[in-house]
Amino acid sequence: MTISMFQASVPVFVRALNNLAGILEKGVAHAKECKIEETVLLNSRLFPDMFPLARQVQIATDTARSGAARLAGAEFPAYEDNETTFAALATRIHNTVKYLETLQPTQIDGSESKTISWQSRSSTKSMQGQPYLFNHLLPNVYFHVTTAYNILRHNGIEVGKKDFLGT
């Protein structure tokens, strides 16, 4: 049985990002209820050498958007990393989901063997489409969504597995 690269990527990214948006909404509500400045939560980290919440959201959206576009052989919009509010992060997530929803199965299906190249912080990387999706994109999106979830949970926001899974 062959796998649909589209079904294994775009809907998965959309769901993870929509769930992240819901988690962030709980963060906003908590901040208002407890009279906590949004910037306190947005700049929170799990450990000093880790990125803060806002950056985790930016990387999750960047990875989903650029990765799906590379699989599709399409251009993707670049976003400035300048969000300083939960509302701005929600807009970034919404815009990423809107972009992902423009991609069609015919653009991504069949990309299993396609060579995908991208620039990391230190070098140019290349791999075939299926390993790129399963060994790079999906783990990275889930890592950053999970870390954003964990930052908020660590700061007392009442989120749970149902929020993460979207059930």
Domain boundaries, the chain: 10-106+114-165
Per DSSP, helices labelled H in the chain are 10-34, 38-42, 53-72, 86-100, 105-108, 129-131, 138-154, 161-165
The token pair that represents 54 in the structure block: 């806002």
β-strand 115-119 against 124-128: which pairing, if any? antiparallel
CATH superfamily of 10-106+114-165: dinb family like domain (1.20.120.450)
Q: Using one digit for the tens of pLDDT, what is the confidence trace for 24-58?
A: 999 999 999 999 999 999 999 999 999 999 999 99
pLDDT at 32: 96
pLDDT at 46: 96
Q: Using one digit for the tens of pLDDT, what is the confidence trace for 138-150?
A: 999 999 999 999 9
Measured CA to CA in angstroms, residue 148 lies from 6, 45, 116, 152, 164 at distances of 25, 9, 27, 6, 10
Mean pLDDT of 47-74: 98
The token pair that represents 136 in the structure block: 């790079």
Q: Using one digit for the tens of pLDDT, what is the confidence trace for 85-115?
A: 999 999 999 999 999 999 999 999 999 999 9
Average pLDDT over the chain, rounded to an integer: 96
pLDDT at 1: 56
pLDDT at 89: 98
pLDDT at 167: 79
> What CA–CA distance (Å, rounded) separates 149 from 151?
6
DSSP-derived letter for residue 31 is H
Say whether pLDDT at 163 is over 70.
yes
The token pair that represents 74 in the structure block: 């399409």
% of the chain surpassing 70 pLDDT: 99
Say whether pLDDT at 121 is over 90.
no
Residue pair 107/74 in contact (Cβ under 8 Å)? The answer is: yes
Say whether pLDDT at 154 is over 80.
yes
